[in-house]
Structure 1
Amino acid sequence: MPTSPVRHRRSGSRLGIRRTGFALVGTAALALSTALVPSAATASDIPPEGEVETSDNVEHVANSPLESPLDNTGSDLAFTGDYAIAGNYDGFVIYDISDPENPRTVSQVLCEGGQGDVSVSGDLLYFSVDYPREDETCGSPSSDPSDADAFEGIRIFDISDVTQPRYVSAVRIDCGSHTNTLVPGEDGETDYIYVSSYGPSEEFPNCQPPHDKISIVEVPLDDPASSEVVNEPVLFPEGGNEGDEDLLRPTEGCHDITAYPELEVAAGACMGDGVLMDISDPVEPRVFEQVQDENFAFWHSASFSNDADTVLFTDELGGGVAPTCNEEIGPERGADAFYSVLGKFDKGANDPKLRFDGYFKIDRHQSDNENCVAHNGSLIPVEGGDYYVQAWYQGGVSLIDFNKSKKPEEIGYFERGPVSEDELVTGGSWSAYYYNGYIYSRDITEGLDVLKVNDERLSSAEDVTYDEFNPQSQPRY
């Protein structure tokens, strides 16, 4: 069972790099990517530059390209009714997906501030800002993180009119908001937002080390302008996994959290650690299980099975900018790790534990010019079955059967050829989620892809429909 950090060398892992949508940027990313470059996959196995390839059970039915002014890096997705909301490093886009095979841009909001993680709650949109700005408003210039007056945190928008989203307010957060997770309040009158951020430095007055915490924002739904931080729980009072120099980053709070509100639990991917949390009191989450993995460089994201008897964690080896899907890196790094949950999430019972079961990594080896690693995904809602759709950057989109968590396998895929056949250019699928009969993939450079699955094993998923879907606020079906 994995217990300690992996022992292999990486350039740039402790260079004090400022937070980004990927783990590293600039020369550090280049050094890291170079260190991980494998022997190229066989040329005949790699689709030509930009060309789409799918398995027989997956059909690529639509693409909506990035449009000016939001033609920067595309990021994560959230869904409400007939609309998909797509984050971007320069703001967000709302797509009409009432006809999934003909998605249409309804509105674009230019509002710079980093990767732009998004969550939706009724008429409200929560938007992450993790690049310092001079003030809270859209259009404010970038600022230096050493400026104590700089703004980072959560911006809140009213999207009751999807054609004209309206800026409502903002909440300042220590170290900003790299990702955000919606936890609806039981009273139906309040939302809680779990904000994850990292990258502290003694030079940043608003982002001081050790930063072993998350921030919790309370949003009164009838007065979102009065939203505020109501707690900053320290998840790692003893420092988490901070002492191993071979981690991509030490534990500094969390990178991302997936809540399962109906079961009052959450799973956190926290750079050096994976955790399970009791969120029965959403303002006072409690860590009751903490695991480390000798093959994980960067605990990135998490998902539960529908019955919450399995947790899938992802390792973003290389920070999303390196080519790690190859024979040399192997199947146990830059992969998914599956853990069985031993025990029940019952109040008053013993806290459940996590038992490592196995890894999954795509075996469609990518070229040395394609960044590829495990990234964001969601369950395919098949009653009584465990199936998952997941983004792998330039490894494309993978359909995974994990009914046997010790032996998960790919059962379908979609991918493009490299962004460039001549050099390593970052691109590919950032996130891939199943929503009301289709898979939506947010491509970093190519916009929104829509996929249709034709597979008897997954056909019952078409009977499951949602009015709203935030993949990091996992519903039960």
Structure 2
Amino acid sequence: MASSPTPPPSPHPRRAALRKGAVALAGAAALAASLLSPSAASADQAFVSDADTSANVTHIANVPKSEAMGDFNSDLAFVGDYAIGGNYNGFVIYDISAPEDPRVVSEVLCPGGQGDVSVSGDLLYFSVDYTRASDECGAPAVPTTDPNAFEGIRIFDISDKANPQYVAAVRTDCGSHTNTLVPGKDGEHEYIYVSSYSPSASFPNCQPPHDKISIIEVPLDDPASAEVVDAPVLFPDGGFRNTSGCHDITVYAERDIAAGACMGDGILMDISDPAAPVVTDVVQDSNFAFWHSATFTNDGATVMFTDELGGGGGATCLESIGSERGANAIYTIGGTEADPELAFEGYFKIPRLQSSTENCVAHNGSLIPVPGQDFFVQSWYQGGVSVIDFNDPAAPREIGYFDRSPIDEDRLVLGGSWSAYYYNGYVYSSDITRGLDVIKITDPRVRAAERVPMDEFNPQSQPEYRPGRR
């Protein structure tokens, strides 16, 4: 197999010194967030889809971004009848109790970079990976060379969805590009695995080699006292190729396992002690440029990794790139419980070639919880949303899709679906520039998923799905 090049810098690099989209709130008090009025996007309006879809996929609704959230939309998390959408300027809470008519409940302006989100009951964890002058929501951006700059995790109380409250901030080395919610064993604590990367000798708070993650312990009765309790090194002998941290870590807490997508490496971990994860296997793939994310099957026997070739900004769904780069790689987990082994089975890449002006590559997705079956829904930026059957891990195939035309026919611009997740009968897609999309899959092969109720969903914290479970 031909080796793949190191990906070029992303159009939204995590170590950017200053962000044009950052908004400072003059005179903001410490740990204060600016609560904005719900945007006009939630007003009643006739909906006409502009997407091309397969016969078994219907575009139900779209909520455009407001002017205040004019920067990139990022990840999604869900609790009850609400979806929380991250944005480089903060986050948005949507009421999705009526999926055909989602409504904006509140918007919180709190810039800090990617803004990945995880939710746990009334707590929201928010990633900050662009350096700010302090941990205040209104603090201006500062260069990464500032030793007093803040990056890390912000914690919000969202018990009142119309009026979220900023609770605390926890600084972490290299900030937080993504975060993973990990339930504690005692019912009194939970943990946040903080993934970050791209160290430099010139960054005082992000020194190389940075082959580690940060672990934040959150006391559930006092989340304001959350703190970093460890920063375990996952690659004591150094990672493969360009590894200098992890991009995503997905935990399957009910099976005490986790999978890490760590730039140049895919890893499997034992998290039976969630405060002390242990790496149990490491794999590389010469076709992978950037190990980005991971998802387990419900039986925990298979894991799908994604390759973000080009950092998300490249047009890689082209015939010249081929079907094995910028794709998913599927591994089965063999060996023993004490010594598991990842075994490669096959690749999946969307078969729908895209234009040279469309950024397109494997990105965030989730299982469709069909009992005893393996189906996946996934974002591909301007490649749209794909519905994948990987019941045969060696021969996965697309069985449905949602795909818009290029944002710009003449030049390559960043856009498309950042994340697409199944939640209680619908797929919710966070489009970088066009807002929140709601999609319905009408394929009989996935209909049984509607009998699996979901009370909470986080991209990097997989539950075990059981029919009728509450």
**TM-score scaled by length of structure 2:** 0.90
Deviations for 1:140-196, whole angstroms, at most 9, x for unmatched residues?
100111111000000000000000000001000000000000001122211100000
Q: Cα offset for 1:344? A: 5.0
Cross-structure match for 1:256: 248
Secondary structure of residue in 2 paired with 1:202: coil
Q: Cα offset for 1:139? A: 1.1
User: Is 2:106 the partner of 1:114?
Assistant: no
**Structure 2 counterpart of 1:310, one-letter code:** T
Cross-structure match for 1:298: 290
User: Is 2:33 the partner of 1:7?
Assistant: no
Count residues with an aligned counterpart: 432
Indicate how the Cα distance of structure 1 residues 54 and 334 shifts in structure 2: closer, same or farther if over 3 A, else same.
same
For residues 55-454 of structure 1, the aligned pairs below 5 Å read 55-242=54-241, 250-343=242-335, 345=337, 350-454=338-442
Q: Cα offset for 1:227? A: 0.4
Cross-structure match for 1:470: 458
Deviations for 1:369-426, whole angstroms, at most 9, x for unmatched residues?
0000000000000011000000000000000000000000000000100111111111
Deviates more, 1:420-429 or 1:206-215: 420-429
Q: Cα offset for 1:7? A: 2.9
Deviates more, 1:371-380 or 1:62-71: 62-71
**What is the CA–CA distance in structure 2 between the aligned matches of 1:140 and 1:386, rounded to whole Å?**
45
**What is the CA–CA distance in structure 2 between the aligned matches of 1:102 and 1:191, rounded to whole Å?**
34
Deviations for 1:320-348, whole angstroms, at most 9, x for unmatched residues?
00000011100000000000110354xxx
Gap runs ≥5 in structure 1: 21-49, 243-249
Deviations for 1:337-363, whole angstroms, at most 9, x for unmatched residues?
000110354xxxx31101000000001
**What is the CA–CA distance in structure 2 between the aligned matches of 1:438 and 1:393, rounded to whole Å?**
19
Give aligned-pair identity as a percent.
67
Q: Cα offset for 1:253? A: 1.3
Q: Cα offset for 1:51? A: 3.4
**What is the CA–CA distance in structure 1 between the aligned matches of 2:117 and 2:6, rounded to whole Å?**
31
Cross-structure match for 2:15: 19
**What is the CA–CA distance in structure 1 between the aligned matches of 2:395 and 2:138, rounded to whole Å?**
49
Gap runs ≥5 in structure 2: 17-48, 466-470
Cross-structure match for 2:36: none
**What is the CA–CA distance in structure 2 between the aligned matches of 1:369 and 1:19, rounded to whole Å?**
25
Indicate how the Cα distance of structure 1 residues 435 and 8 shifts in structure 2: closer, same or farther if over 3 A, else same.
closer
Secondary structure of residue in 2 paired with 1:331: coil
Indicate how the Cα distance of structure 1 residues 427 and 13 shifts in structure 2: closer, same or farther if over 3 A, else same.
closer
Higher relative contact order (CA 8 A, sep 6+): 1
**What is the CA–CA distance in structure 1 between the aligned matches of 2:50 and 2:94, rounded to whole Å?**
24
Deviates more, 1:183-192 or 1:402-411: 183-192
**Structure 1 counterpart of 2:449, one-letter code:** A
